[in-house]
Amino acid sequence: MGGKKFFHEVISLEEAKGRLFKAFIERIQTPIDSEIIDVKNALGRVTAQAVFAKFSSPYFHSAAMDGYALRARDTFTATEREPVRLKIGVDAHWIETGDPLPDGFDAVIPVEDVNLRDGFIEIYASVPPYNDVRPIGEDIVATELIIPESHVVRAADIGAILASGICTIDVRRKPLIGIIPTGSELIDASKIKEKMPEPPQLIEYNSAVLASLTTQTGAEPKIYSIVRDEEKEIKDAILNALKECDIVLLNAGSGYGKEDFTYKVINELGEVLINGVAIRPGKPFIAGFVNNKPVLGIPGYPVSSFLSFELFVRPLMEFYLGTKIQKEEKLQGILSRQISSNIGVDEFVRVKVGRVGKKYIVTPLGRGAGLLMSIVRADGYIVIPRGSEGFSQGTEIAVNLWRTREEIDNTVVCIGSHDNTLDVLYNFVRKHYPDVTLSSAHVGSMGGLVAIKNGEAHIAGTHLLDEQTGEYNIPFIKRLMPEKKVVLFNLVYRIQGFIVKKGNPKGIKGFEDLARDDVVFINRQAGSGTRLLLDKHLKELGIDPSKIKGYDRDEYTHMGIASAVLTGRADVGLGILSAAQALGLDFIPVTEERYDILIPQEFLDLSTVKSVLNIIKEDEEFRETVKSLGGYDTRDMGKIIYKN
């Protein structure tokens, strides 16, 4: 045996894992190298890079209902007593769900809402612009993050990626796992005909089980021919498999009988790390390295074989692929806000889920039938039964998970103001901490502070400007939660301004232009810092918000504002420079504002929150990536602004 010492030492499960995983990380490149494949073949693969949308989806304004396309302005005088009559084929065109809107038309009225008479349709109530229309970018906005690095691609992801115009994707190569069944008594199941095998022959099936488990982990199995209990044959089989495989599993022969050669062969060819683990079943597990590749002796009993794979092989696949392997689970959570539904239908609502303190917080996502990204972003779904009108805030509700409970427990719940840096932060967190997820819900700065106050979030993004003091965020925190122990960190300073079409065709210069008759505005939702900034300037200038066309039409993200301008739904919106640059729009700066993140002190010691703060405070690549977006200053990134 080349002078190497034969040993037998049964060690604890913790020590066995520690030995194997430490040696694996030291000797093996992780994550594994990548390859470019067709998106249609990407199901179950792990992304090696983040995927950003190439095009918006939908990429044209389309009908959301069967009915008539028309111009909204033609209906503004319609009443029950004096209906508006539009001539079919001239001022109204029949349109079916999914059809593009004719040029010059900006709304659809459902067929059931009109009366047909003498080649005209009669309309009894005014129709707002973009009524029953799926606008460009309703589902996906060009350049937005679809899925991050270290993400296991799902069916919905494939649809979203293709919908955004991307046909190939960079994924981690599947580790090739060689499976060598050993035993002179074994026969291949495919060779069994009608006659039962003669004793002591046994049908070999463990290799199929191991191969299936391998496939479930995202790796690729290769089953080799059965090898007899002969030392030289086993040696040759291992060396042959190592020429092409990343890991070799030697099934059976790991015990201590006279025909069990696994330990001896690995010891002669390389180095044995583990020769017995104090578990039942699975005690005879062996692990070593040959030619700097793992060779694992998997016990022959089927339950031992299964358990050994779950305990030792599956974690190695996670190291190789840089991600956690998912299992379907269910849990009970607390609904973060009220959700309504119509009687008579079972509604399946996509949700985000995160553990905050001892509670699982469940936040509903977009519910539109065409919003594919709501599935991509969801952690699971809840069901509103047909006899219910919905659930009130605080209701305990069952969640069917699309992600594992471990992933949910490792989710940092971020609720508050939207900023493009959050997508970048999410990707960097996944890149460096593959078991941590950052879940971001965009409800506005004030909504974020309320979530922190109510114990429903770990982090809140906020940029609230106090009119009296001119200070950002701190006055609101003091008023809303004077007793709560919190820390306010700076993330970025950013430029807010007017997002306008290329060339600024409407000649927008300032807030006064928003009240012009020929200007259509798109607003942020009530409670957002951007909305408060707008209202502050309108108040100072004495501008009545009701005079601004579009003041009551709002979006929940800066990219939504930019998309509305790009696609013609609005002439101008108030947003950040990076959103304008992302979609090739022009920008008129208004002010620099401070965008902070608020964290309760009780969560600062959570490993998941520490992971996020580590990226913000220490990762220079993250800092430079944020700067490259445009309109950001990182001079105080990670600095404590306020502590209570």
Find the CATH number of the domain harbouring 407.
Answer: 2.40.340.10
- Judgement on whether residues 303 and 235 belong to the same structural domain of the protein: yes
> Quick one: pLDDT at residue 5?
45
Instruction: Calculate mean pLDDT across residues 507-511.
Output: 95
pLDDT band at 372 (very low <50, low <70, confident <90, very high): low
Give the CATH number for residue 291: 3.40.980.10
Instruction: Calculate mean pLDDT across residues 166-179.
Output: 97
Residue 223 inside a domain? The answer is: yes
pLDDT band at 303 (very low <50, low <70, confident <90, very high): confident
Residue 6 inside a domain? The answer is: no
**Phi/psi of residue 208, nearest 5 degrees:** -70, -40
- Judgement on whether residues 167 and 236 belong to the same structural domain of the protein: no
Greater confidence (187 vs 18) lies with 18
What distance in Å separates the CA atoms of residue 244 and residue 234, rounded to the nearest whole number? Answer: 16
Number of separate domains in the chain: 5
Q: Which residues pair with 292 in a beta bridge?
A: none
- Judgement on whether residues 450 and 385 belong to the same structural domain of the protein: yes
Is pTM, for the whole model, over 0.85? no
Give the CATH number for residue 557: 3.40.190.10
pLDDT at 406 over 90: no
Instruction: Calculate mean pLDDT across residues 193-209.
Output: 79
Residue 5 inside a domain? The answer is: no
Residue 146 inside a domain? The answer is: yes
Residue 253 has which token pair? 């022969």
Residue in 261, 183, 260, 181 with CA at minimum distance from that of residue 225: 181
Give the CATH number for residue 114: 2.170.190.11
- Judgement on whether residues 545 and 634 belong to the same structural domain of the protein: yes
Angle between helices 620-629 and 607-618 (to 10 degrees): 70
- Judgement on whether residues 584 and 563 belong to the same structural domain of the protein: yes
- Judgement on whether residues 260 and 160 belong to the same structural domain of the protein: no
- Judgement on whether residues 53 and 161 belong to the same structural domain of the protein: yes
Residue 556 has which token pair? 């929940």
Secondary structure letter of residue 11 according to DSSP: B
* Least confidently predicted of 86-90, 513-517, 553-557: 553-557
Provide the percentage of residues in the chain whose pLDDT is more than 70. 95
Residue 561 inside a domain? The answer is: yes
Residue 489 has which token pair? 């960190």
- Residue ending a domain, among 415, 438, 462, is 462
What distance in Å separates the CA atoms of residue 456 and residue 450, rounded to the nearest whole number? Answer: 8
pLDDT band at 2 (very low <50, low <70, confident <90, very high): very low
Residue 433 has which token pair? 């901490």
pLDDT at 18 over 60: yes
pLDDT at 268 over 60: yes
What distance in Å separates the CA atoms of residue 295 and residue 242, rounded to the nearest whole number? Answer: 9
- Judgement on whether residues 592 and 449 belong to the same structural domain of the protein: no
Residue 1 inside a domain? The answer is: no
- Judgement on whether residues 380 and 442 belong to the same structural domain of the protein: yes
CA distances from 225 to 232, 238, 298 (A): 15, 12, 16
- The answer to whether residues 631 and 493 touch, using CB atoms and an 8 Å cutoff, is no
- Judgement on whether residues 38 and 166 belong to the same structural domain of the protein: yes
By residue range, what is the domain housing residue 129?
A: 62-134
Query: Which secondary-structure segment (H or E) carries 408?
Result: helix 405-409
- Judgement on whether residues 166 and 38 belong to the same structural domain of the protein: yes
- Judgement on whether residues 479 and 522 belong to the same structural domain of the protein: yes
pLDDT at 9 over 90: no
Residue 200 has which token pair? 């002591």
Secondary structure letter of residue 345 according to DSSP: S
Residue 559 inside a domain? The answer is: yes
- Residue ending a domain, among 462, 489, 517, is 462
Provide the percentage of residues in the chain whose pLDDT is more than 90. 66
Residue 363 inside a domain? The answer is: yes
